[in-house]
Amino acid sequence: MSKHYAVFGSPITHSQSPRIHAAFAKQTGIGMDYVAIAANHDDFRAKLDASGVVGANITLPLKEDAFALCAGNVSARALRAGAVNTVLRDGAQWRGDNTDGLGLVRDLTERHGLDLRGRRTLLLGAGGAARGVAPALLDAGIHSLYVINRNSARADALVDAMGEPGRTHARAWDTLPALGEFDLLINATSASRGGQLPSLAMALVAPRSVAVDLSYGEAAVPFLAWARAAGCAQTVDGLGMLVEQAAESFLLWHGVRPDTAAVFAELSGRADALLTAD
């Protein structure tokens, strides 16, 4: 009998997660169904409990809500991040984990061949997405991490949670032009989902800079277009990260890690077609 899984968030109609997990299930011969469920801060817990799922992925804007919902029953990496993107039913409660950071690092290093070591890194945003990837970037050996957020208190909180003073820095958005060049620039904000890209100085870009947007498809276009215009050597959207973090979630639920190459190839071809269509 198939078990039930879902992804919760808002907006959610664009999500490729059901397609990804259907492909993983077919590949591994595991019986499961997986759907997208729209939820916001006020109804997330009720919808999760009523859904009948045994496991779920959590996306914007609910990753910190999911962390609170798990009430301390979380993995070490989720605890460090203060955000949860994967839950598994644990009796009457939920157990939480965060596969975002591992998914991002795996995509950048294995699929795109990037050496993250020694890179001066700019992280735009301090919400659940940023919290999920910050610890893994530090563990991957980046030189330093500058967190920029319009709400400076959230940037301060993220940096404090990392526990690496001198290597992590919180800065206000209006200080961006004076921060110098970065080797790795990551957009973890949701602003570009509405086509609204905050003003960024081209002086942030160095000759070998790589720009990464944690979103994918049309939501990633504004930031990556700016990055190319500013002279970034390479730009990467969040589709590969999505596939890799999904594979890690699948492993947590089923004890099997699916192969991601064919799934990424299919989805990236589909995304290219959508972005180039008239």
Summarised one tens digit per residue, pLDDT across range 255-270 is: 999 999 999 999 988 6
Q: Is residue 17 annotated as involved in ligand binding? A: yes
The per-residue pLDDT for 276 is 33
Question: Which residue ranges does the chain devote to CATH 3.40.50.720?
Answer: 101-239
Q: Measure the CA angle with vertex 148, ends 147 and 153; round to 5°.
A: 90
Q: Is residue 132 annotated as involved in ligand binding? A: no
The per-residue pLDDT for 275 is 39
Average pLDDT over residues 154-161: 96
Catalytic residues: 63
Q: Which CATH architecture has domain 3-99+245-260?
A: 3-Layer(aba) Sandwich (3.40)
Write down the pTM of the prediction. Answer: 0.94
Sign of CA dihedral 240, 246, 249, 255: negative
Q: Is residue 128 annotated as involved in ligand binding? A: yes
- Determine phi and psi for 120, rounding to 5 degrees: -75, 120
| 3.50.50.60, 3.40.50.720, 3.30.9.10, 2.60.40.1930: CATH of 101-239 | 3.40.50.720
Question: Which residue ranges does the chain devote to CATH 3.40.50.10860?
Answer: 3-99+245-260
CB 14 within 8 A of CB 2: no
Distance CA 78, CA 136 (A): 11
- The answer, yes or no, to whether residue 274 has pLDDT greater than 50, is no
- Determine phi and psi for 187, rounding to 5 degrees: -95, 110
